[in-house]
Amino acid sequence: MLVNELLKSAGYRVEEALGQRETVGICTDSRRVRQGEIFVALSGLSHDGHLHVGEALSRGAVLIVSERHMSGAPVLVVESTRVALARLFDAWYGHPARGLCMIGITGTNGKTSTAAMLASILEAAGRRVGVIGTVNATCCGEVLVAEHQNRLANLTTPDPAQLYRLLAQMKAHGADTVVMEVTSHALFFEKVAPLYFKRALFTNLSPEHLDLHGDMDTYFAEKRRLFLQCEMGVISTFAPYGQMLADSLDVPFFTVGRGNVTRVVANGVQGVSFRLCHEGENIDISLPVPGDFSVENAALAALTACTLGVSAATVKEALAGFGGVVGRMERVSGDRVPLSVFIDYAHTPDAIEKLLLAVRRFRADGQRVILVFGCGGDRDRTKRRKMGRVATRLADLTVITSDNARSEEPLAIIADIVKGIDKEKPHTIIPDRKEAIAYAIDTARDGDIVILAGKGHEEYEIKGRERLRFSEREIVAACLAARFGEGTV
C-alpha cells in the first residue's frame, strides 16, 4: 500500500514525495521495525518513542509519525501519536467497524458479565455477534482469541494493532454487531478514537486504576469520554456516578436503576428474579445467576437490547437460559459435595462488598461465608486496606493470601491489607494461594460457602516477570476429592 493512500484513508495528508513510498505495516517498537514500515513514536508513561527515531530509521522506517518537528527525516507531525496509531490501524484494516453495530461497555465492575448477557440476547434475536473483552474475543460462537493464548492477555481492550485486526476478522466472519468492553486505559490511550458506538453502556464506578488516573474525578472524566462518541447512552444508576453521568450528557440516553427495576427476589444459588419496566411495559426476568450485582448487569443488558428493537419475549428467554460467565460467580463444586465453592473476579473494594452482600443474602441459617482473597502487586495500593476492611466486615472467615504479586513482595502486600482488617473478626494469613484454598476447603463445614476472589477466569499467577500456570478450578477439584473422595466432584 502507498503511504499516501493509507494516510488519506486515516484522515491525514503528507507531502507528495513522501507519500509515493510503499509501506508494509505500522510499528511502535523501534527495535522491531521492518524495512518499509511506518514508525509511530508514542510517548508512554515510562518511555518516549521520539528518543528512538534514529534506530527506527536505521532499520528502514519509511515514515515517522511524531508529535514533534524533525529535520532530516520523513515525518508526519500530529497532535497525538496515540490517536494517529488507532486511526492508522483502523485504515490499514479497511475501517472494519463501519457497517457494524458497535456497542461499548465501560465501568469499573460488571463489564464482562453485561457484555456476555447482551450478546446472548442479541444472538437469540438473530444477530451475528462478536464480543471483545477480558476473557476472550469471540465471533458467532467461535473463539478468535482465547485469554491464555493472547500475549496481551492483561489488556481487556486490545491495543490498536490487535483491536482493528479482530474487528476485521469479525466482519469477515459475518458479524453484524460487536459488543466490546472499553476500559479507562483504552480511552486514556486513545485505542478506540476512530470508533463510533451505536450504544455506550455504563455499569458503575468505584476506586480502581488510581495509580494511572490519580483521583476519582479524573477516572470518571475518562469513562465519560466514551459517551462523546456514541449515538445513545444506556446508564446504570444503581450507584451515584451513573446519575452524575446521565446529568452531564448531551446525547440521548436511557437509565436503569431502582426506579424501573423492582421485585428483586433472590432464589439462592439458583439465581435471581426481577421486573424491568421499559416504556410502560413490565418485563419479568428470571436469571440463573445469583447476586444483586447480577440483577444490575442483566437489567442493563436487557434495557440496551430493548432500545435496539429486541422483543421482551426474546429478552426473557435469552436471560432465562444464560449459562453464566467463566470466573464470574462461577460455581466450581458439584452437587455431591456438602459445601459450595465459587470463583469470582472481584478485585476491588466495591466488587468484594457487592459479592459478599449478595452471598449473605441467599445463604441459609448457619451457613458461613469463607473468603479467600489477595491484592495485585504494582497496582493501586490505596484499595488494599479497604478490601481488608470490607472482607472482615462481611465474611465469617477471611483468608488473606497472594494474587499476582508481580514485582512486589507478597508479604508487603498482605501487610497493606492487614492495616484495614477488623482484627477481632476471624481471619488468617496464608501467603501461598494454593495452600490458602486448601485451608478454606478443609476448614469449611457442611453447608458453608467458600469464595475465591480475584482471579476469576485467570489461569495463571504472576510472580516477578513470570506468568506461571495456576488453575483454581484444578486446585479446588483436587482439594474436594482429597476431602470427600474421588468421584464426588
Whether 120 is covered by a domain: the verdict is: yes
Q: How many structural domains compose the chain? A: 3
Residue 50 CA from chain centroid, whole number: 31
Among residues 92, 126, 141, the one where a domain terminates is 92
Whether 310 is covered by a domain: the verdict is: yes
Whether 282 is covered by a domain: the verdict is: yes
Report d(CA 312, CA 302) in Å as an integer: 8
In terms of domains, do 248 and 112 share one? yes
Estimate the crossing angle of helix 216-224 against helix 240-248, to 10 degrees.
50
All three cell numbers of 85: 496509531
pLDDT at 112: 94
In terms of domains, do 24 and 73 share one? yes
Whether 489 is covered by a domain: the verdict is: no
CA–CA distances in Å: residue 390 to residues 60, 178, 191, 206, 420: 55, 36, 34, 14, 8
User: What is the model's pTM?
Assistant: 0.87
Q: Which domain holds residue 34?
A: 3-92
Whether 325 is covered by a domain: the verdict is: no
In terms of domains, do 70 and 131 share one? no
Q: Which residues are CB-neighbours of 476 under 8 A, at least 6 positions away?
A: 332, 333, 341, 343, 437, 441, 452
Dihedral class, residue 340 (left if φ above 0, else alpha if ψ from -120 to 50, else beta): beta
Mean residue pLDDT of the chain comes to: 93
In terms of domains, do 200 and 280 share one? yes
In terms of domains, do 249 and 359 share one? no
In terms of domains, do 116 and 65 share one? no
In terms of domains, do 180 and 304 share one? yes
Whether 56 is covered by a domain: the verdict is: yes
pLDDT at 155: 60
Among residues 65, 92, 119, the one where a domain terminates is 92
In terms of domains, do 407 and 452 share one? yes
Among residues 273, 295, 320, the one where a domain terminates is 320
pLDDT in tens, 173-228: 999 999 999 999 999 999 999 999 999 999 999 867 666 767 889 999 999 999 99
User: Worst-scoring range by mean pLDDT, 142-146, 377-381, 461-465?
Assistant: 142-146
403 and 371 Cβ atoms separated by less than 8 Å: no
112 and 345 Cβ atoms separated by less than 8 Å: yes
Over 349-367, what HEC string results?
A: HHHHHHHHHHHHHHCCCCC
In terms of domains, do 334 and 364 share one? yes
CATH code where residue 74 lies: 3.40.1390.10
In terms of domains, do 270 and 170 share one? yes
In terms of domains, do 297 and 421 share one? no
Residue 244 burial (CB count, 10 A):
14
Report d(CA 318, CA 129) in Å as an integer: 14
Q: Which residues are CB-neighbours of 209 under 8 A, at least 6 positions away?
A: 184, 185, 219, 380
Whether 384 is covered by a domain: the verdict is: yes
In terms of domains, do 227 and 362 share one? no
pLDDT at 213: 66
